[in-house]
Amino acid sequence: MNDIIIGIDLGTTNSEVAIVEQGKARVIAAGGNKILPSFVGIDDNGEVIVGETARNQYLVYPERTVKSIKRLMGQDTHVKLAGQSFTPQEISAIILKRLKAAAEQDLGHSVNKAVITVPAYFSDAQRQATREAGEIAGLEVVRMINEPTAAALAYGAGQQEAKRMLVYDLGGGTFDVSVVNIESGVVEVLASHGDNHLGGDDFDEQIVDFLLTHLREHHQADASGDSKAMARITRAAEQAKLQLSDQPYTRIEEEHLLQHQGSTIHLSVELSRMAYEEMIEDYINATLDAVHIALKGAKLTASNIDEIILVGGSTRTPCIRERLFNEFGFEPHGEVDPDLCVALGAATQAAMVAGQQVDTVLVDVTPYTYGTSAIGTLNGQYYPFMFVPVIHKNSALPIRKTEAFMTSYDGQEKVEIAIYQGEDPDALNNIEIGEFEVSGLRDVKAGNIITLTLDLDLNGILHVSAQEKATGLEKSITIKNALSRLEGATLDKAKQRITSLFGQLESDPEKFKEKSAAEPEPTAPEIIGAHELIAKAESLFDQVSAEDKEDMIDLIETISNCIDTGDIEGLEEPVEQLNDIIYYLES
Ligand code: AMP
């Protein structure tokens, strides 16, 4: 079939090509990779290079390499490449030609038509330049569609009932947010806003600055003038950023990075997600300001938005999802690969133009959120079972995520970890699907870091492991059928657990009766009282001196041991002592 139309996302940082076959949209790999960096260069032999090779060359030979040509589209200008002059259309055409060749190789026949996406804000001149680039590459551009429209199409907008979507697109060098309206399968961009110079590259630069500062402060060395070292630092910074999207810490290591005053410098430094997120906070704030401007432009408020779609590789940064969740009150969609979403939408549009049947882009996602509980605040109150999500609902499978937690008191030698499935901020309202304990922790002050990794595969098998960061001490469990909504016996067990934990605080005698009936062996009042006392003592921890806290922890431990062994008599003395301390603290 020679009249196949390909869909192309011609991006500032990366470009992709996709097609629809037997109703399914798929991205075609160009040179082994689905993502083609939008870099063009001339190599040592005078040959044109595109993609990853050009991107690597850019770090060392920027004068022979061009990046972000999209920013110049529509301008009457030229770029110099190894002494030769090119228009922006010509450079873009080289990228398009590479994508066209990849599609032809994959399909086994020539391709002459394409749908190409452009930002919603592109002017007529910019659109015209894009069309010309297509022509130079030997492609008839049958349709040019807005990127947010393509993203919405990838999420099945063409077949959907009326709704309003917010498309949040944060790539390597640009940020765009659009409000789109979908009615009878027609997607219309109501308003768009963004920043042409904001993206993942800025995040990389923050990490590069952090690394340069580290080298200056710890090795008294300035790497900024050494282009080879800078190339390595830049690459390491991006790698670190990618890792911090899935784990709370990363170690950046570059051996033999540079020579300084006759000695070799090896770079080795740890970066936490928390520190990194502080570095990029201003940028994220700027994107949220833009979200509000776009909403205002569409004469809507956050409550009018039905769905949020995440587009662009940088939206994998966890705090972006969190901030949008806080702003809108629901989870954004990110299940269609955010790097490939626009290309898949372009292919969907291309198939529609060609009169082909198209199914929605379906991916395997988790329908539930998985996480654990930790001490925190719920409705502004101290609460020991705050739900902490680790894998979010609608994440594409398989997925592996790690989060960090801290021990809450000095000398804590074990942590009990419960894994829950659900969306409620109160972990006890979610379904507990597994629990385990890590004991033998180091005898150190509160704040000992424990990392928790959840790894969920396509078959619904959830591997959970917890590790004491400083020693590597690890414990893990496997939970089968984690994707099914647990019902029946498991639900009853979870309910019972909640009742037994809360029953002690229950003042309604009717409810208390219910609880007693469900539990054949009612908990002794001494034990109930001891639990209450412990909760009270723990709630006072941040107001007491280190010395008092230490005494309290010792007593809590003794009391807990008595509770565990059912030693009611043994409870009397430590309970009295702890009561005395609390009385003294409160008086
Ligand atoms: P795009 O222009 O949409 O292809 O996005 C490219 C940007 O996404 C680059 O800055 C990448 O470093 C960034 N990116 C890709 N994957 C991740 C990730 N897992 N976490 C954070 N940023 C990412």
Pocket test of ligand 1: the residue of 245, 314, 395 to mutate, having most ligand atoms within 8 Å of its CB, is 314
Weakest mean pLDDT among 216-230, 244-258, 502-516? 502-516
Does residue 374 sit in the same domain as residue 299?
no
Identify the top-confidence range among 311-315, 427-431, 520-524: 311-315
**Closest atom of ligand 1 to CA, residue 201:** 10
Does residue 50 sit in the same domain as residue 166?
yes
Does 501 map to a domain?
no
pTM of the model: 0.77
pLDDT at position 275 over 90? yes
Weakest mean pLDDT among 71-75, 182-186, 363-367? 363-367
| 136 within 8 A of 93, measured Cβ to Cβ | yes
Tell how many helices (H) and how many strands (E) occur in the chain. 15, 25
Task: Find the helix packing angle between 52-60 and 227-244, rounded to 10°.
Answer: 130
Give residue 485's pLDDT: 58
Does residue 36 sit in the same domain as residue 155?
yes
Chain-centre distance of CA 392, in angstroms?
Answer: 9
Does residue 269 sit in the same domain as residue 209?
yes
Q: Is the CB of 117 under 6 A from ligand 1?
A: no
Residue at 418: amino acid letter: A
The total of structural domains in the chain comes to: 4
CATH at 181: 3.30.420.40
Does residue 160 sit in the same domain as residue 137?
yes
Choice between 531 and 253, residue whose per-residue pLDDT is larger:
253
Q: Is the CB of 119 under 6 A from ligand 1?
A: no
Does 532 map to a domain?
yes
Give residue 396's pLDDT: 81
Ligand 1 atom 8: residue of nearest CA? 313
Does residue 345 sit in the same domain as residue 287?
yes
Average pLDDT, integer, range 94-111:
96
pLDDT at position 303 over 90? yes
pLDDT tens sequence across 166-214 = 999 999 989 999 999 988 878 889 999 989 889 999 999 999 999 999 9
Identify the top-confidence range among 157-166, 279-288, 420-429: 279-288
CATH at 217: 3.90.640.10
What are residue 20's DSSP bridge partners? 25
Does 490 map to a domain?
no
* Catalytic residue check, 169: yes
Choice between 409 and 158, residue whose per-residue pLDDT is larger:
409
Of 363, 393, 419, which residue constitutes the final position of a domain? Answer: 363
CATH at 470: 2.60.34.10
Does residue 162 sit in the same domain as residue 303?
yes
Give residue 94's pLDDT: 97
**Cα atoms in the 13 Å half-sphere on the side-chain side of 581:** 25
Give residue 11's pLDDT: 96
∠ at Cα 575 (570, 578), nearest 5°? 140
Q: Which of 9, 176, 201, 468 is catalytic?
A: 9
Give residue 90's pLDDT: 96
Give residue 495's pLDDT: 47
Longest dimension (CA), the chain: 91
pLDDT at position 483 over 80? no
Q: Is the CB of 307 under 6 A from ligand 1?
A: no
Give residue 168's pLDDT: 98
Residue with tokens 């063409």: 158
Does residue 191 sit in the same domain as residue 208?
no
Q: Is the CB of 201 under 6 A from ligand 1?
A: yes
Give residue 556's pLDDT: 87
Average pLDDT, integer, range 56-70:
91
Does 503 map to a domain?
no
Does residue 103 sit in the same domain as residue 12?
yes
pLDDT at position 235 over 70? yes
| 287 within 8 A of 175, measured Cβ to Cβ | yes
**Closest atom of ligand 1 to CA, residue 200:** 10
Q: Is the CB of 312 under 6 A from ligand 1?
A: yes
Does 420 map to a domain?
yes
Q: Is the CB of 287 under 6 A from ligand 1?
A: no
**Cα atoms in the 13 Å half-sphere on the side-chain side of 440:** 8
Average pLDDT, integer, range 265-277:
97
Give residue 326's pLDDT: 94
What percent of the chain has pLDDT above 70? 91
Give residue 547's pLDDT: 82
Give residue 351's pLDDT: 94
pLDDT at position 240 over 60? yes
Does residue 208 sit in the same domain as residue 83?
no
Does 506 map to a domain?
no
Buried/exposed code over 321-332 (b: 16+ C-beta within 10 A; e: otherwise): bebbeebbeebb
Weakest mean pLDDT among 358-367, 469-478, 569-578? 358-367
Using the mean position of ligand 1's atoms as its centre, give its distance from the Cα of residue 35 in Å. Answer: 11
Domain that holds residue 546: 514-586
Does 130 map to a domain?
yes
Of 363, 394, 414, which residue constitutes the final position of a domain? Answer: 363
Give residue 492's pLDDT: 55
Give residue 31's pLDDT: 80
Average pLDDT, integer, range 569-585:
84
Q: Is the CB of 238 under 6 A from ligand 1?
A: yes
Of 316, 332, 363, which residue constitutes the final position of a domain? Answer: 363
Q: How confident is the model at residue 502 (pLDDT cuts 50, 70, 90)?
A: very low
Q: How confident is the model at residue 160 (pLDDT cuts 50, 70, 90)?
A: low
pLDDT at position 510 over 60? no
Does residue 288 sit in the same domain as residue 277?
no
Does residue 34 sit in the same domain as residue 104?
yes
Does 483 map to a domain?
no
Choice between 343 and 458, residue whose per-residue pLDDT is larger:
343
pLDDT at position 499 over 90? no
Give residue 460's pLDDT: 82
**Closest Cα partner for 432 from 385, 472, 473?**
385
What percent of the chain has pLDDT above 90? 65
pLDDT at position 519 over 60? no
Q: How confident is the model at residue 362 (pLDDT cuts 50, 70, 90)?
A: low
Using the mean position of ligand 1's atoms as its centre, give its distance from the Cα of residue 241 in Å. Answer: 9
* Catalytic residue check, 569: no
